[in-house]
């Protein structure tokens, strides 16, 4: 008996063309420099913002940055930069 592949057709198509998922599917992209800076692309909104927690909504999940002295240095509709001492990044 064959196991049915549960990967969506759109994702399979993008993989066959070898196109980046962040561009084609709007996937969240996080680039970190050590534990002091994070650049986030393709987020939808800020759900919580304190000195210790920054919670973001992405297309398919939420991501939570935890640490000390966290701040959003800049943000646009497409990307943002978080700085501070980032201790933990969790996907919810």
CA atoms within 13 A on the CB side of 1: 2
Average pLDDT of the chain, as a whole number:
83
CA 4 to chain centroid, in Å, comes to: 29
The reported pLDDT for the residue numbered 14 is 55
The reported pLDDT for the residue numbered 22 is 52
- In this structure, are residues 24 and 14 in contact, taking their beta carbons and an 8 Å threshold? yes
Cα angle, residue 89 at apex, residues 71 and 59 outer, rounded to 5°: 90
The reported pLDDT for the residue numbered 60 is 84
Tens digit of each residue's pLDDT (9 = 90 or more) over 31-44: 999 999 999 998 99
Q: Tell me the domains of the chain and their CATH numbers.
A: 28-91 (2.60.40.2000)
DSSP secondary structure, 39-62, as one string: EEESEEEEEEE-SSEEEEEESS-E
């Amino acid at each position: 008996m064959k196991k049915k592949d549960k990967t969506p057709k759109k994702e399979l198509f993008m993989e066959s063309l070898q196109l980046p998922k962040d561009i084609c599917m709007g996937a969240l992209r996080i680039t970190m420099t050590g534990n002091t800076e994070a650049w986030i692309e393709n987020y939808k909104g800020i759900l919580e913002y304190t000195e210790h927690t920054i919670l973001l909504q992405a297309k398919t999940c939420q991501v939570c940055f935890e640490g000390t002295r966290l701040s959003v240095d800049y943000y646009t509709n497409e990307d943002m930069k978080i700085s501070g001492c980032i201790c933990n990044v969790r996907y919810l």
